[in-house]
Amino acid sequence: MIGLTTGQTLGFVAVAILMAVVAFGRIVGMLADGFDKAVLPPLIVELVIIAVLIAAHLQLSV
């Protein structure tokens, strides 16, 4: 919320990087342990949130 009001959106990138690390871990886990349907919905949500955060950073940091 602070990034939206002050225009300082670097925090969006930090959160997106952290979520990307988590998503990468899920993908590595799927490759190591095999595909599990229960992993797919959270992975998709994480990827969408990452895309939204990066898009918001690019749009708002003029």
**17-47 residue pLDDT tens:** 999 999 999 999 999 999 999 999 999 999 9
Residue range of the domain that includes 48: 2-60
As a whole number of angstroms, the distance between CA 49 and CA 55 comes to 10
Total structural domains within the chain: 1
Percent of residues, the chain, with pLDDT higher than 70: 87
Rounded to two decimals, the pTM is 0.85
- Helices and strands (DSSP H and E) totals, the chain: 3, 0
Least confident residue range of 1-5, 20-24, 36-40, 49-53: 1-5
What is the chain's mean pLDDT, rounded? 90
* pLDDT score of 4 more than 70: no
Per-residue pLDDT, averaged over 51-57, amounts to: 94
